Amino acid sequence: MATRGTPRWETMNFQVTGLGLDKIKLDSPQSFLDQEEVEEAEDGQLLEPEAWRTYVERRNALQEFLTSDLSPHLLKRHHARMELLKKCSYYIEILPKHLALGDQNPLVLPTTMFQLIDPWKFQRMKKVGAAQTKIQLLLLGDLLEQLDHGRSELDALLESPDPRPFLAGWGLVEQRLADLSAVMDSFLAMMVPGRLHVKHRLVSDIGATKIPHIRLMLSTKMPVMFDRKESVAHQDWVSLRWFVTIQQAVPEQFELRYKLLDPRTQQECMQCGIIPVAACAFDIRNLLPNRAYKFTVKRAESYTLVYEPWRDSLTLHTRPGPPEGLAPSRLGKLGLSLTTPSER
C-alpha cells in the first residue's frame, strides 16, 4: 500500500479503471501521459488505491448522467420547446369519455353537444382553462430553471481539484441525481396539456333527457408565423405569406392586421385594417411608397379558445416611388384594394 507524503512513482502499480494507468510504466509520467492524465494521477496520490478506483467510477457515472440525461444539447432543445409553447394557442376540447384527444370530428362529436352545455358555465370554464394554462407554463419554466441550475452545480462538482469532498458527499450527489431525474420526468409529463379540472356540471338539468358523459381537455395548436423569406414589400403593395408548423386537418381561418407606422396626416391614419383570411397568403394593395407598415397574423377567434398569449408580427418597408414630379398624385388613392394571389 502506498504511504502518504511524497509518493515514489515506482510503487504506483495499482490499476485505475478508465485511465489505463495499469498498462503504462510510471517511471517518467510526463513522457507518456498528457497534462490532464498527469493531474488525475497526482490527484490519485490523495487517496488509497481502492478509494481512487471508487472515485473514478463515481465520477464517470456523473459524467455519463450529464452527457445523456442532462446534456447541454437536451436542455437547449427543451428551452426551444418551452419558447414554442409560450407562442401556442390553447383550446378547450369537449369529448365523450370514450374518445381520446384528437379523435373528434363532426360525425363523432355532433354540434348538439354545445347546445347541451350551459353557456355561462362554459365561459367560466374557459377562464379556469386560461388560469390552468398560465400556471402550467409557469411551472414548466420553473422546472427548466431547476434543471439548468442542477446542471451547473454538477459541472462545478466535476471541476473540483480535490476528490475527497466528492467522495465524502457522494450520498448527497446521488440524491441530487435522483431529484433531477424526477424534475425531468415532471417536465416531460407537463409538456402535454392535460385534462381540465371541472368542479361543476357543464350540462344543465334537462329533465328526462339523458345527460351525456363528457370530459374537458386542454389542447394546443402550434403558432401561426410569417414566412419572412416569402413575405415581401413592393412600391405600393405587399405580398404576405404565413404558415403553421403542424397543419390542422380542417382548413383554418386567420385574422390579418396591418397599420402604417408613424402616420403624418389624418388621412394616413386610415392606412390600417383587420382582414379575415381563409388561406395562408394575402396581398394588400394601395399602400404608400417608402413607408413602414406593421403586420400581425393569428387564428380567427374561436368559441373554444382559452388562452393565446402571442401573435407574430412583421414590419415591412415599401419601396420608394418615382422621383418627385414624375409620380402621379396619390390624393384620393388611399382607399384599399385587397386581393388574394389567385385574384391577381
What are the structural domain ranges in the chain? 49-190, 223-318
279 pLDDT more than 80: yes
Q: What is the pLDDT of residue 162?
A: 85
Mean pLDDT value across residues 163-191:
93
106 pLDDT more than 50: no
Q: What is the pLDDT of residue 44?
A: 47
Of 46-55, 116-125, 286-295, 331-340, where does the model show the most confidence?
286-295
Q: Which CATH class is domain 223-318?
A: mainly beta
Give percent above pLDDT 70 in the chain: 69
Q: What is the 3-state secondary structure (H, E, C) of the chain?
A: CCCCCCCCHHHCCCCCCCCCHHHCCCCCHHHHCCHHHHHHHHHHCCCCHHHHHHHHHHHHHHHHHHHHCCCHHHHHHHHHHHHHHHHCEEEEEEEECCCCCCCCCCCCCCCHHHHHECHHHHHHHHHHHHHHHHHHHHHHHHHHHHHHHHHHHHHHHHCCCCHHHHHHCHHHHHHHHHHHHHHHHHHHHHCCCCECCCCCCCECCCCCCCCCCEEEEEEEECCEEECCCCCEECCCCEEEEEEECCCCCCCCCEEEEEEECCCCCCCHHHCEEEEEECCCEEEEECCCCCCEEEEEEEECCCCCEEECCCCEEEEEECCCCCCCCCCCCCCCCCCCEEECHHHC
Residue 282 or 29, more confident: 282
Q: What is the pLDDT of residue 324?
A: 64
> Band of the pLDDT at 121, cuts 50, 70, 90?
confident
pLDDT tens track for 182-202: 999 999 999 877 666 655 566
Q: What is the pLDDT of residue 111?
A: 61
Mean pLDDT value across residues 137-166:
92
Q: What is the pLDDT of residue 223?
A: 95
Mean pLDDT value across residues 200-226:
73
Q: What is the pLDDT of residue 216?
A: 80
> Band of the pLDDT at 232, cuts 50, 70, 90?
very high
Average pLDDT, the chain: 79
pTM, two decimals, is 0.71
